[in-house]
Structures are given as C-alpha cells and as structure tokens.
Structure 1
C-alpha cells in the first residue's frame, strides 16, 4: 500500500484593495482640478497590482461594513473635508473606526486619531505645551461676541503689531485675514470682522501673531514612513502674506544639504510627537486599534535660528510627489499600499 504525500498548498496573498476617500464625487475632482497633485498616485498603485477605487465619503449608501472590505483606506484625496466640520469627524468616528473594528487588518492612512486631532488647529496649543515654538495664538468663540467685544480682544492681543485671523478648521488659507495695524482698522478689516460675526466660522477664530519671516519663505518638510524624504519652500508674492499659488505664491525644491538643521531636527521631533498620537482613544470608552502613521507635511519658518511651526498637515497634504525630489516619497507610499506580496 503506497503512502500519500501531503504537500501544503501555498497560500496566494490577496490582491490589495485600496480606497481613496474623496469629499466631492471623484468625477468632479478631475474636472475641477485637472492637475491635482495626487492625481497619478491611484493609477501608480493600480499598475503595481492593487485594486484601487475612489469613493465619496459623503455617499449615504456606504457604511462600516462596506468600508471593512478594503485592505487600506486613505484620506490623501480628501480635499475640502474642512467644509464639513461636523460631518467629517462624525464619519471618521461612526463609520471608519467601526469598519476597522470589524476588520482589524484594515489600515487607515493616516490613523483616525491623528486625523481627528489634525482637523482643528487647537492642536497647536498641545505643541506649545510640548515645548515647540509656535506663533503666539488665541482662540475665540465669535458666537459669544459683538463687534465691540471682538475688537477689544484683538487690540488687547496685539496692541500695535500685525496679526492674522483664521478659522480653527480651515485649509488653503481660506477665510484668512491679515490686520496690519490693530490700532486703526481698515475698511477691509471691519468687513472681515462683520462677516465672521454674521456668518460664524468653522470652529473658533484664531488670533495669531503675524510672523514677518514668512516673506522669506515657508519650509514644507515632507515625511513618509518616518523618513524626511524632501523639502519644498513656499514663497509668497511680494506684498502678500499667503504662500498658496492662488495668491501668487511660488515654490522651489530645497536640497537636503540646504535645509536648516534646526528645521530638520524640529520636524523629526514633531513627527515622533505625531506618532505618539496613533491609536489613542479620545475618551475612556473608545478603544481603537490604530494604523501606522504614514505621511505628514510639517510647515514652518526660521526665526532667530529656530524653527517656528506654522502648521501640520496629516490628512490630505500636498506632498509634492510630482517634484523631482519626491521620488523617494512616492516609492515609500506605493510600498505602504502594496506590501511585499512574495
């Protein structure tokens, strides 16, 4: 009687199934932003063997069960999320987090706790407490104020030096205003205050000391998988305080050797600070599994040989993957979505 030879079957790894969340229907994004900076990323991941889908997180037909079928979900296409200051956090808490509980192998990039923390610029106060340098800031609930009381707060905050006003939940310098001299408001200053008092703001209103150094350029240090992969400098147009292209700003790549040591060191420490946020519950009753921190952009200026943090973008940052120096970051991102399948 012969012997039966038992040969274990090799398990073929499942094809990665990747979802890019969008705020607007995907077809609208290409129409509105044909040169969108992350446009080619889904296609590159698809070409490397993954199933890639783009779906609007506001689609009422999507629930936790449908999201749990993916191997990874990312916010990198989630522009304009801040236009939905209540619905977006609710979606993360009530849909994405339960999906991850249903499927513990589901990775969400970036981690939901980091994303929720990063939606509101109150996070800057935590960074100040942790010892990082941030422009002096004050948060004001405009719904509790009149024009007279808000004017008093502004003048008490900054007697004679310029200050920037912006919503705590915002992006791309939207609804941001520079008061150049709080001792005498211009008609534009008055109109801005009247508008925020009448219409409100997404989150509280931030009063922030204006940093003159922004005119020399703002460093954007890009991190992927814990590595500082490349750096871009954003430069405002002469006479402008906003760096974004829609306000005439320009950009240039900064060689690694030319990045100020104080900026590189501070940004690396800030990345570690972000990592400490991964998977931490918001309260004692919530327990989250968490996903690795994958990407972030850390923006700041140099003042008195020190790095001044302006903001952290860890939800849907422009990572300048299209830049000549962005190749390493692009490879790192692709490896996250398509791990070794041997």
Structure 2
C-alpha cells in the first residue's frame, strides 16, 4: 500500500516534499487572486482547505512554509488595498494555523510524516492485530477475541499474542494491558507486541513472563509497565497453566455444574516494575463445554466503583450469555456495558 501511494505521487511529479510544498503554495496564490477578484466565489476560508491538505501531505518544514505563505498573503491583501477581512476571519485563520502546526509537530515527534506516514501506522496497527491471530486448532477447540479501544480510537493498549508449540499440541495465549489508553498506549503496544510475539511459543511456558518483564525493564519507558496473563493449554487433555503479571484473575465457566468461578492466578507484579520478579503458575482443566475467559480491567472497572463488583457483574453476564453455548465474546462485552473511557479486551477459550 505504501509503495502504491509513493508511486502515485511520483507519477504526477510530486514525489518530493519540495514539489508538494511548491504546488500548495501556488494554490494559495490562486486562492488570493480569487479572493481579490472573485470574492463571492472564493471566500477567505479557502486557505483553511489548503492548510488541511498540507497537514495530510507535508512534513513539518513544508507546513511551516505553507502557513507562512498564507499568513503573508492574509496580511498583504488588506495592506495593498485589495480587500478587507473581518477581525473574526483573522482570528479563525490564526487558530487554524496554530492548530495545524501543532498537529504537524505531534506527527513529526511520532515519525508520521505526510500521507505515507498515516498508511505506515495503519500497517503497523494491522500487524498488531496479526500477532493475535490464533493458529488452526483441533476439532472441538475455539478461541474468540474482542478488543475495543477507548473512545473508539484507532489504537488500543490491550493486545493478544498467540502461538502453538510441541508440533501444535500446546496452545499459548497472552493477553496484555499496557499502561495508559488509546493512541499513547497503542504506540507502546506496537513495540511490545512485536517482542512478545517473538517470545511466545519459543520459550518454555514458565520463562515467558520473566522474559517479557526483562524486555520491558530494558525499554526504560516513562509509563513502562503492563499487566499480562499467560495461558499454556494442552489441547489433547484440556489441562492448562495460568501465570499472571499483575493481571485480573481469569474466569472459568464449568459446563457440567453451570458454575462460573475465578481461577486464583495470584502471580507476580506487573511487567516492567521489578527486576527478577517471579510469576508462579496455577493449573486447571477445561472439560468439554467449558470456557476460560481472559479480560482486561477496562471491562470490569468503573471510576470510583468496586473492582470486585465489576468482576461479579462479568461472571453474571457469562452465566447468562455463554452457558447456553450460543453467545460469543462480542455478546459478553455488549452485555457487560462497560464505558468507553478505557480499552477493553476479552479472550474466550472454548472446548466443545
């Protein structure tokens, strides 16, 4: 996709930032001519459309040149007696320039430069989702995931990594909740998910969280912690081990009794907090019809609310939605009714 965009720009002679800047500045000159000689058809707000186009195509330096050209023309037209602007028009133009330069500076800090930068981050987001794609499983096993970002942003601080090992006889899944939410957490998720996707399934299960902890400590991020829960499941028997790093306890639906209980995975501290931390596992078993749920705190936590009550609410929803065998992960998230102020993630491991 990125190569296509670059080829399209080059095809029309716009492969460089200098060429794009020149074209957009020329458009501002045409806009000025229209404002002077065809004011009813070319209003001063035309400049804002050109600025928005520049914000999509130009890097910071080009945006500065474009905004400076517009500011000069906006002042020159009334000074030359070629037209007048109201105080409100000056104010609106000043706000637009300040906002778009701030936006361009923010993108520059993230390394998102011009249209290809936008496509690059979308590509990275797709790669993040790809790390959570579950490998083919034997008949009777099913894994469902549902992830919702805070305020429906493009990026989430919650992600899943999966792998199989021992010739496909063991499934490993880790659900991770990076500190923060939305885009800021999403940038860290992109980096961390790539590292954890390379670790899961390649190390013995007891070594996965210690290795993830060491990696996160080495990054030295300001908000450098994450919670995680890691499951290693033997597909032939349904036996599993769960290790937790500061994460909420999984929930298991026992099909035989209808009981929805908590898996007491006390585990260790959050990743990236304590060097050499231990993450002791607990064991369990999924019988036919059972479901194991992994989830993040955004699904059960409300500001000022009791976390235990949120978990109890989730257990009640699981009993009502999944015990019939017809509901899925999306149904659970919808019925829990958690707010959109935080990222939410849910993973269901189901044995048919």
Normalising to structure 1: TM-score of the pair? 0.22
* Structure with the greater alpha carbon radius of gyration: 2
- The higher relative CO (CA closer than 8 Å, separation ≥ 6) is in 1
Normalising to structure 2: TM-score of the pair? 0.22
* More helix, by proportion: 2
